[in-house]
Structure 1
Amino acid sequence: MTRILHLSDIHFGAVDARLVEPVLALAHDLRPDATVVSGDLTQRARASQFAAARAFLGQLPGPVLCVPGNHDMPLHNLALRLAAPFARYRAAMGPELEPTVTLPGAVLQGVNTADPLVWKAGRLRPASAQRLAHSFAAAPPGTIRIAVMHHAPVPAADGTPADMAAPAAALVALAAAGADVVLSGHTHMPHGGFAETAAGVLFLQVGTAISTRRKTSANDLALVTLGHGEVTVESWLSTPGSAGFAPGPIARYARPDAAWKRLTPP
């Protein structure tokens, strides 16, 4: 079995400081094979916020794969956002915006969906879709192919439409690339499901792990376990005022044919 710890929207600059150490302790207790942070490492893409995010990621169990989110580009500095939207991200996190991590039985490919032209909404660039397809095609047969992106082309948990340009085309591109699972954030609401037009792709979103910018009653993260033809998602929740994280709902998914099915009731 392969275990992936999934965090998102950590938003340094708007962090609940009481959660930082509990998240790090839990991350090491869970002993994942890799950790994924699916964007929005900062609140306003400031150098000091990136430095804090880099220090935090450096304490997570590795390898650590992260991708930019829309908050990782300058919002008010339009000139910098258009000329060099990811300069501060690269200075802190390294030059690669779409990294790859290979694990036993799985390949994780980062996808940069942040769009400096519109800032908030995302897009799947043709070059990113092509890179995803090449990365997945190179993986051995039987490998679980996982795309990691900030935005997802599926509705949020509350039914809000996907905050992404041309979501239908993005679904087609992800399915054509051979994606089995997509890990994402952005909505600040945990959610799991599939799309009719991309039934072979399982979309898993988490909320915010340590930020004060919650849209649900708790901060959350997830442990995603791959094995025996199933994907198990274990949620970990921290409600306001609690000292740390406690186990939350567990969802199990299987794909006995071309389409994913949820094995546990929602």
Structure 2
Amino acid sequence: MIRLLHLSDVHFGAVDDRLLPPLLALARDLRPDVTVISGDLTQRARPGQFVEARAFIDRLPGPVLVVPGNHDMPLGNLALRLLAPFARYRRTIGPQLEPTLTLPGAVIQGVNTANPLVWKSGRLTRHSADRLTRTFAAAPKEAMRIAILHHAPIPAADGTPADMANPAGVLGTLAQAGCDIVLSGHTHMPHAGFAETAAGVLFLQVGTAISTRLKTDTNDFALIEIAPGNVTRHAWLARQGHGFAPEPVTRFLKVASGWQTVAAP
């Protein structure tokens, strides 16, 4: 079984500092095999914000796999945004925008959905789609195939349409590549969902782990336990800046027709 800690939208530059110590302590106590951050490490892609994000990453249990989000590109510096949108990210966080990690029983592929040509919505480029397809094709048959995206091609928890170009096409690409699980953020709302056109893909979103930019009444993150054919999701919520507390567990089972939610033991 793989234990994966899923964080997103930490937004250094707009952080509730009261949540940092309990989150880091709990992350160490949970002892995940891998920690994933699905984008928006910073609020405005400023150098100091990336330095804070890097220091945070260095304190997380590793290995840590990170992808950028739309907030990780400069907003006000148009020349930098168009010519080198991820220069600050690469310099401080790391050179890889689409990292790959192989674990016993799983392969994880990061996908950069941030689009420098627009402010908020995402995209899946042909280059990224090809990389994802190659990675999953090379993985052992029994391996769980997990993609990390900032933007998801399905509606948010409140029904808001997917904030991504050609979501139907993205769903098709994920399904054809053999993707089992997509972990994402962006909406600042935790959500678990399926798509009729990609029934074999389980979509798990978390909100914001430590940012003040809330769209619900709480910060959150998740610990995801992955075993052959089933996934267990442990959600952790914090309200009013206090430490995180566990929520009821959600379990998903993969059957011939796709994923289904089942009662947790």
Same fold (TM over 0.5): yes
Once the two structures are TM-superposed, the CA of residue 138 in structure 1 deviates from its matched residue by 1.0
Q: Distance in 2 between matches of 1:264 and 1:203?
A: 18
SS in 1 for 2:236: strand
Partner amino acid, structure 2, of 1:230: N
Consecutive unaligned residues of structure 2, counting only runs of 5 or more, are none
Partner amino acid, structure 1, of 2:10: I
Once the two structures are TM-superposed, the CA of residue 228 in structure 1 deviates from its matched residue by 4.4
Once the two structures are TM-superposed, the CA of residue 61 in structure 1 deviates from its matched residue by 0.5
Q: Distance in 2 between matches of 1:24 and 1:191?
A: 23
Deviation readout 1:26-59 (Å, 9 max, x if unpaired): 1011100000000000000000000000000011
Partner amino acid, structure 1, of 2:254: R
Please state if 1:231 is matched with 2:237.
Answer: no
TM-score under structure 1 normalisation? 0.98
Once the two structures are TM-superposed, the CA of residue 76 in structure 1 deviates from its matched residue by 1.4
- In structure 2, the residue matched to 1:192 is 192
| RMSD across aligned positions (CA) | 1.0
Q: Tell me the matched-pair count.
A: 264
Asked whether the equivalents of residues 16 and 241 of structure 2 are also in contact (C-alpha less than 8 Å), the reply is no
Deviation readout 1:54-103 (Å, 9 max, x if unpaired): 00001100000000000000111111100100000000111110001111
- In structure 2, the residue matched to 1:179 is 179
Once the two structures are TM-superposed, the CA of residue 255 in structure 1 deviates from its matched residue by 1.0
Once the two structures are TM-superposed, the CA of residue 249 in structure 1 deviates from its matched residue by 2.8
Structure-to-structure mapping, 1:55-204, within 5 angstroms: 55-204=55-204
SS in 2 for 1:171: helix
Once the two structures are TM-superposed, the CA of residue 179 in structure 1 deviates from its matched residue by 0.6
Partner amino acid, structure 2, of 1:40: D
Partner amino acid, structure 2, of 1:251: T
Asked whether the equivalents of residues 175 and 201 of structure 1 are also in contact (C-alpha less than 8 Å), the reply is yes
Deviation readout 1:145-171 (Å, 9 max, x if unpaired): 000010000000000000000000000
Asked whether the equivalents of residues 130 and 177 of structure 1 are also in contact (C-alpha less than 8 Å), the reply is no
Q: Distance in 2 between matches of 1:95 and 1:258?
A: 39
Q: Distance in 2 between matches of 1:116 and 1:172?
A: 23
Asked whether the equivalents of residues 146 and 179 of structure 2 are also in contact (C-alpha less than 8 Å), the reply is yes
TM-score under structure 2 normalisation? 0.98
- In structure 2, the residue matched to 1:45 is 45
Partner amino acid, structure 2, of 1:233: R
Q: Distance in 2 between matches of 1:241 and 1:83?
A: 39
Deviation readout 1:88-136 (Å, 9 max, x if unpaired): 0000111110001111111110000000001200001111011001111
- In structure 2, the residue matched to 1:248 is 247
Partner amino acid, structure 2, of 1:245: F
- In structure 2, the residue matched to 1:214 is 214
- In structure 1, the residue matched to 2:262 is 263
Q: Which 4+ runs in 1 deviate beyond 3 A?
A: none
SS in 1 for 2:157: coil
Asked whether the equivalents of residues 16 and 212 of structure 2 are also in contact (C-alpha less than 8 Å), the reply is yes
Asked whether the equivalents of residues 9 and 38 of structure 2 are also in contact (C-alpha less than 8 Å), the reply is yes
Percent identity for Structure 1 against Structure 2: 69
Q: Distance in 2 between matches of 1:241 and 1:115?
A: 32
Q: Distance in 2 between matches of 1:264 and 1:85?
A: 44
Asked whether the equivalents of residues 18 and 241 of structure 2 are also in contact (C-alpha less than 8 Å), the reply is no
The range that moved more, 226-235 or 208-217, is 226-235
Asked whether the equivalents of residues 188 and 206 of structure 2 are also in contact (C-alpha less than 8 Å), the reply is yes
Partner amino acid, structure 2, of 1:17: D
Q: Distance in 1 between matches of 2:140 and 2:36?
A: 22
